[in-house]
C-alpha cells in the first residue's frame, strides 16, 4: 500500500482532541467550542482527511440521504422533477442519490434493494414498473409523477391528468376543433392520459375523439400512428398526443402529408419538455409542472422521515381516498405556434397542398 488514508484518529491526534470530538466537529455539531472546531477543521484539511461515508452509514442511525429512482434516464421528464426535489432538500441539508432502474440489471439487483443497502432515509420513485413487494413497510416512500402501481398505503404526488386533458380539450374546442385525434402508447402515464382525454371528450357529444397507438410512447410511434389516423380520419383537425415527442412525430406526419400546422392541423403535446419550447417546434403543450411535483414529493418525504405524519399535514390540493393517499397538482396549458383555429369546413376531406419540407 502507498500510504493509508487518514482517519479521524489521525485528525484527533493532530488537533490534540478525542476521536469523538472530531466526529462531532466534522458534522457541525453545535455543542463544540469555536476554538476546538477550527483546530479540528485545520487538522483535517492539513491531513487531507476524507470522511469515510461507508463507516458513517454503518455507525449512524440515519444517513441524511434521499434516493430517487427513475425508470429510464432516456426519458427526460424526470429532470424538472429532480430539480424540484433538490430544491426542497436543500434547506434540510439532505443528500440526493439518483439511480436508474435498469443500470445494474446485470447484477440482478432490485433498485430499491440497492438504495436500501446503503440505508437511504427515504425514497422517491419517479418510476412506474417497480416491484412494490421489494419495499419494506417502514421505509418512507413517495411515488412521484405517476399514480400507477405502488405499495399499499404509499403516497403518490402527481399532476392531475384529468384536469390536464380537460384543459387541452377546452383549448382545442375553443379554437373550433371538433374532430380530434389522440395519440397514446403503453405505460401507466399514457393510459391515464388516454382515459382522461376520453372522459373529457365524452362531456361534449359534438366532439369525436379517435385514438391510435399501442407501442412505446416514442416519436417514431407517434409518427406512424398519426399517419394512420390522418389517413383513416381525414376530417381530423387537431391531434392531442400523450407526450411531446409523440407530438413531434405528429408534426412529421403532417409534413409528410403536406398539411400545414396550424392552418390545416393543430398539434398538442403534453409534458412541457424543453423540446416543446424550442424555436423550431414552439409546440403547444400541457405543463404538468414536474418541478412542483418534485418539490411537493420531497417536502412530503421529509415530513415522513421526520415522523411528522404525512397524512395529517399533507400538501395543498390533496385528496385522500382511503388507503391510497395522493396529492394531485393542477397542470396548466401552454399555447404556442402549433395550435390555431380549426379550418373552415370544406367537406369531409380536403386536398393536401404540396409543401416543401422543413
Partner DNA sequence: CTGAAAGCGCTTACAG
- The site map against DNA for 34-73 (x = CB under 7 A) is -xx------------xxxx--xx-xxxxx-----------
How far is Cα 72 from Cα 168, in angstroms, rounded to an integer?
27
Q: What are phi and psi of 276, to 5 degrees?
A: -65, -30
- Using the minimum distance from each CB to DNA, give the nearer residue, 14 or 173: 14
- The site map against a copy of itself for 7-46 (x = CB under 8 A) is ----------------------------------------
- Using the minimum distance from each CB to DNA, give the nearer residue, 45 or 102: 45
Kindly tell me the sign of the dihedral angle through the C-alpha atoms of 151, 156, 159, 161: positive
Q: Which residues contact 3 (CB under 8 A, 6 or more apart)?
A: none
Residue with cell 427513475: 70
Helix, strand, coil percentages in the chain from 3-state DSSP, rounded to 5: 40, 15, 45
Beta-carbon count within 10 A of 163 CB: 18
Kindly state whether residue 115 participates in binding DNA, applying the rule CB under 7 A: no
Least separation in angstroms between CB 133 and DNA: 20
21 binds, among a copy of itself, DNA, none (CB under 5 to 8 A by kind): DNA
SS3 105: helix
How far is Cα 106 from Cα 213, in angstroms, rounded to an integer?
31
Kindly state whether residue 117 participates in binding a copy of itself, applying the rule CB under 8 A: yes
Kindly state whether residue 95 participates in binding DNA, applying the rule CB under 7 A: no
Q: Which residues pair with 270 in a beta bridge?
A: 286
Nine-digit cell string for 299: 417536502
61 binds, among DNA, a copy of itself, none (CB under 5 to 8 A by kind): DNA
Question: How many residues sit in the footprint of a copy of itself (CB under 8 A)?
Answer: 59
Which of the ranges 4-12, 147-155, 158-166, 222-230 carries the binding residues for DNA, by CB under 7 A? Answer: 4-12
In the 8-state DSSP scheme, what is residue 185? -
How far is Cα 340 from Cα 353, in angstroms, rounded to an integer?
18
Kindly state whether residue 179 participates in binding DNA, applying the rule CB under 7 A: no
- The site map against DNA for 127-166 (x = CB under 7 A) is ----------------------------------------
Residue with cell 442519490: 97
DSSP strand pairing (284-287 vs 332-334): antiparallel
Binding a copy of itself (rule: CB under 8 A), the pick from 27, 62, 95, 231 is: 95
9 binds, among a copy of itself, DNA, none (CB under 5 to 8 A by kind): DNA
255 binds, among DNA, a copy of itself, none (CB under 5 to 8 A by kind): a copy of itself
| Residues of this chain that bind DNA (CB under 7 A) | 4-5, 7-9, 17-21, 23-24, 26-27, 31-33, 35-36, 49-52, 55-56, 58-62
Amino acid at each position: 500500500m502507498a500510504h493509508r488514508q487518514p482517519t479521524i484518529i489521525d485528525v484527533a491526534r493532530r488537533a490534540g482532541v478525542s476521536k469523538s470530538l472530531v466526529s462531532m466537529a466534522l458534522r457541525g455539531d453545535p455543542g463544540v467550542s469555536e476554538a476546538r472546531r477550527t483546530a479540528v477543521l485545520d487538522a483535517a484539511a492539513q491531513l487531507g482527511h476524507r470522511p469515510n461515508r461507508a463507516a458513517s452509514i454503518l455507525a449512524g442511525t440515519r444517513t441524511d440521504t434521499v434516493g430517487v429512482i427513475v425508470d429510464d434516464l432516456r426519458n427526460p421528464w424526470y429532470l424538472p422533477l429532480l430539480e424540484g426535489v433538490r430544491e426542497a432538500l436543500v434547506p434540510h441539508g439532505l443528500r440526493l442519490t439518483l439511480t436508474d432502474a435498469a443500470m445494474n440489471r446485470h447484477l440482478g439487483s432490485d433498485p430499491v434493494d440497492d438504495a436500501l443497502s446503503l440505508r437511504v432515509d427515504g425514497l422517491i420513485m419517479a418510476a412506474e414498473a417497480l416491484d412494490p413487494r421489494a419495499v419494506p413497510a417502514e421505509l418512507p416512500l413517495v411515488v412521484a409523477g405517476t399514480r400507477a402501481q405502488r405499495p399499499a398505503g404509499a403516497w403518490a404526488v402527481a399532476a392531475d391528468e384529468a384536469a390536464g386533458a380537460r384543459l387541452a380539450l377546452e383549448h382545442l374546442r375553443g379554437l373550433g376543433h371538433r374532430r380530434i385525434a389522440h395519440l397514446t402508447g403503453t405505460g401507466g402515464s399514457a393510459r391515464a392520459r388516454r382515459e382522461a382525454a376520453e372522459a373529457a371528450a365524452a362531456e361534449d357529444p359534438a366532439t369525436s375523439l379517435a385514438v391510435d397507438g399501442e407501442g412505446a410512447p416514442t416519436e417514431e410511434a407517434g409518427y406512424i400512428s398519426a399517419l394512420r389516423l390522418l389517413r383513416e380520419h381525414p376530417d381530423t383537425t387537431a391531434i392531442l398526443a400523450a407526450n411531446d415527442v409523440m407530438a413531434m412525430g405528429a408534426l412529421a406526419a403532417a409534413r409528410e402529408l403536406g398539411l400545414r400546422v396550424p392552418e390545416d392541423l393543430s398539434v398538442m403535446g403534453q409534458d412541457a419538455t424543453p423540446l416543446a419550447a424550442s424555436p423550431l417546434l414552439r409546440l403547444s403543450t400541457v405543463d404538468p409542472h414536474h418541478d412542483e411535483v418534485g418539490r411537493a414529493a420531497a417536502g412530503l418525504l421529509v415530513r415522513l422521515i421526520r415522523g411528522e405524519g404525512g397524512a395529517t399535514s399533507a400538501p395543498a390540493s390533496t385528496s385522500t381516498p382511503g388507503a391510497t393517499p395522493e396529492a394531485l397538482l393542477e397542470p396548466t396549458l401552454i399555447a404556442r405556434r402549433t395550435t390555431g383555429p380549426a379550418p373552415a369546413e370544406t367537406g369531409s376531406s380536403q386536398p393536401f397542398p404540396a409543401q416543401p419540407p422543413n
